[in-house]
Amino acid sequence: MELGDLITIDLIEFNVFASTKEEVLRKVATHLYKAGRVSDEEAYFQALVNRENATTTGFGKGIAIPHANIEEVTLPTISVLKLNTPVEWDSLDDKPVNIVIALAVPSKAKGTIHLQLLAKLSEELMEDEFVEKLHKANSKDEIYQYITNVFHKE
């Protein structure tokens, strides 16, 4: 998996305005559609909603990892949205979310890349220092560096 293909500066957004989880998911879908990472915005949005309806992706510590693996995903993608104000997410710790790390994976890669991405991110999010860095980040470049460093660790 080539990291440069997973995330770019353009896939990171700051000060995103949304008041509900569904609005955030809509913004993720729109963002990835405009970036050419999904061929069908509505299909990706619906897949994100369906995933949330099955089990929350609210990881805790103010972070959610919504994800979907559908054939309309053109490239495996990580996108990060930093919300202007926290949004209720039914997180595991019952706290609202203000950082969304969204994953989009083509259905043909769901058993490999999808699980690898989730595992690596989840492992890193257990570390308070990493979570604190994400929350304190003031630029797309900082977020980009923190996320890419996760995948350079061995």
**Which tens digits make up the pLDDT trace of 60-70?**
999 999 999 89
Q: In order of start, what are the domains of the chain with their CATH numbers? A: 3-148 (3.40.930.10)
- What are the tens digits of pLDDT across the range 54-101? 999 999 999 999 999 899 999 889 999 999 999 999 999 999 999 999
Q: Which of 67, 114, 135, 152 is catalytic?
A: 67
Answer whether residue 125 shows pLDDT above 60.
Answer: yes
Nearest to 127 by CA among 58, 59, 57, 56: 59
Nearest to 68 by CA among 112, 117, 32, 106: 106
67 is catalytic: yes
| Average pLDDT for 129-146 | 95
Q: What stretch of H or E contains 98?
A: strand 97-105
The pLDDT, as a whole number, for residue 151 is 73
Residue 76, class by beta-carbon neighbours within 10 Å (0-12 exposed, 13-18 middle, 19+ buried)? buried
The pLDDT, as a whole number, for residue 72 is 95
pTM exceeding 0.75: yes
